[in-house]
Amino acid sequence: MRFIILFALLVISGEAFAQRGRSAWKVANMKYKVFLLNEYKAMLAQHPEKLAEWSLKQTTSLSFISEAFAAEGMDCIYAGWPSQRVGSSCSSPARMNPKYQAGSCKSNELHCQPALFGEGLCAPVSTQVQRNSAFSECEKRFNKAGRSVEDVIRENLGKGLEAELLSLLDFADNICATSKQKNTGMCRRLEAAVLRVRNGLPEIRASIVVQGKEVRDDQERSDLVGAVTDTATVEGVGQTTGTVPTDCDPAEVSVVRSTDKDFPGIVLPFARTEPRPLDFEYITSRPGADPSYQNTFTKDKNSEELRPNGFEFRMTGPTAMAGAAIDPTQKVERNWNFVSTDHSQRETYLWVTDDAGSGYLSQLMETIVLLVPRRSRPAVEAVGDELHVTLTTGEKVVYDKKTKLVKSGVLSEGPVDLNPNRFNRKFAPIKYSGTGISIRVDKRGEDPRLIPGNAVITQNGKTCQVPAKELWTPDSDFRYAEDKSLIDFLNKKCANKFSI
């Protein structure tokens, strides 16, 4: 059932995450419009069941329905067409959407959404199997017809279909409009796509003031920021929305290097024990001191400040760890997200996402690893052709800067599992070999912290399992800000005893 997107019952205005794709689209050139449309098609094509589960489970007072659709009574998406739910299912737009146009398609066919595929493509919907794969069938016929995404965009502009397309972008954006979904792989990928477009456009590119000089050129900016990383302070960062606080980035503080020979990395103290209260609006990112990684931020609705959220980078196949994608039109990827929410000790952890290239974002394999002791927030620096990451334990991991493959250190990795059966696909084979404690949770297509099962705790060969709900709240907050109270709890629950 790849073709349905279900949401909750009421309407929100879409002032937060919503319409970010629309704003990027409006200023994008054709190259970036093609990129955006491909990313949003991936969102609109995904399996609906997890989206329905998320929206209905997370809130009863908000909706993820685009206002343009809600005004017409549309509350779901069927193969790219706005439609209406009947019970728990999204019904055919041929029956529910008065604006549906069958074109030249027969009664047992569905006219593929022209705003996404161009006009005149028909997908069979006689059987349940065919109805379940309507979107993917439209995509196959689109490719077989030799059409390009650029062709579709030009057709949209020429035939007045752009408004319909932008409403579809809004619909997808609204999924990520609450803090409950903001950290899912689905939303992170969509956000990264929007930011890639926005960061690539000179008229809305970030400006950085270094020692009183405003820098706009990418290379000059990278050189200057890199030059002051260890010795000075970047005085301010501004972009079209949000301002960055002084504790936002490793390039913005005086860097202290550990003198401990066992922990030779950078030491960046936590700014606080727990994150400040947040009225979530959206997640964004900025290029790091080196373009091989991104710094991430969270926007509070009640402040112009962008709060620091860590840094991330992505390994994209083909590489030794990423073979041929399940869907030939997709890519195999592993995203390394070193989260440090508001630079707080409580909410600092590693989030790894494996994408087998299935084309279904709900099949992303999500893993969270929290490492103890939490000595300092994670840090990254580019050293020659390598990325040196210092973990919260103070231990180091070295990545190849170009491929993003692990070269050495206390983390090791195995290949992304490409099993075509998603139920048998394994989570990222990431192993921690340091002296600290590892707490790991996994979940396909959803926040791993909310699993009904157990978290796995390991240290030097000792293992224990603890219900995840005893470590994280229903709001995905970690229950233990201090290491000592965490270890006391673990040692009460586990026969194996842990220590730091």
Residue 193 included in any domain: no
Are 54 and 116 in a shared domain? yes
Are 155 and 12 in a shared domain? yes
Residue 186 included in any domain: no
Are 174 and 211 in a shared domain? no
**Considering 126, 148, 178, which residue would you say is the last residue of a domain?**
178
Are 164 and 235 in a shared domain? no
**Considering 143, 178, 213, which residue would you say is the last residue of a domain?**
178
Residue 118, sorted as left (phi over 0), alpha (psi -120 to 50) or beta, turns out to be left
Are 203 and 163 in a shared domain? no
Please choose, from the candidates 339, 337, 332, 321, the residue with its C-alpha nearest in 3D space to the C-alpha of residue 363: 332
Domain count, the chain: 2
Residue 270 included in any domain: yes
pLDDT in tens, the chain (500 residues): 333 333 322 233 333 345 778 888 887 888 888 888 888 887 777 644 444 444 443 333 334 455 556 656 777 778 788 888 777 677 888 888 888 989 899 989 999 999 999 989 999 988 888 887 788 888 889 988 888 889 999 988 888 888 888 888 887 777 666 545 566 666 777 777 787 776 665 433 333 333 333 333 333 333 323 322 322 222 223 333 455 554 444 333 445 565 555 555 667 889 899 999 988 888 888 888 899 999 999 888 888 888 999 999 999 999 999 999 998 888 999 999 999 999 999 999 999 999 999 888 778 999 999 999 999 999 999 999 999 999 999 999 999 999 999 999 999 999 999 999 989 999 999 999 999 999 999 999 889 999 999 999 999 999 999 999 999 999 899 999 999 999 999 999 999 999 98
Are 18 and 162 in a shared domain? yes
Pairing of strands 437-444, 430-432: unpaired
Are 102 and 43 in a shared domain? yes
Are 405 and 444 in a shared domain? yes
CA–CA separation, 130 and 133 (whole Å): 5
Give the domain range for residue 378: 199-493
State phi, psi for 363 to the nearest 5 degrees. -100, 5
**Considering 148, 178, 208, which residue would you say is the last residue of a domain?**
178
Are 258 and 386 in a shared domain? yes
Residue 332 included in any domain: yes
Are 313 and 457 in a shared domain? yes
Are 285 and 214 in a shared domain? yes
Cβ atoms of 422 and 428 closer than 8 Å: no
Residue 189 included in any domain: no
Residues in the chain: 500
Are 56 and 116 in a shared domain? yes
CA–CA separation, 367 and 352 (whole Å): 5
CA–CA separation, 459 and 372 (whole Å): 10
Residue 254 included in any domain: yes
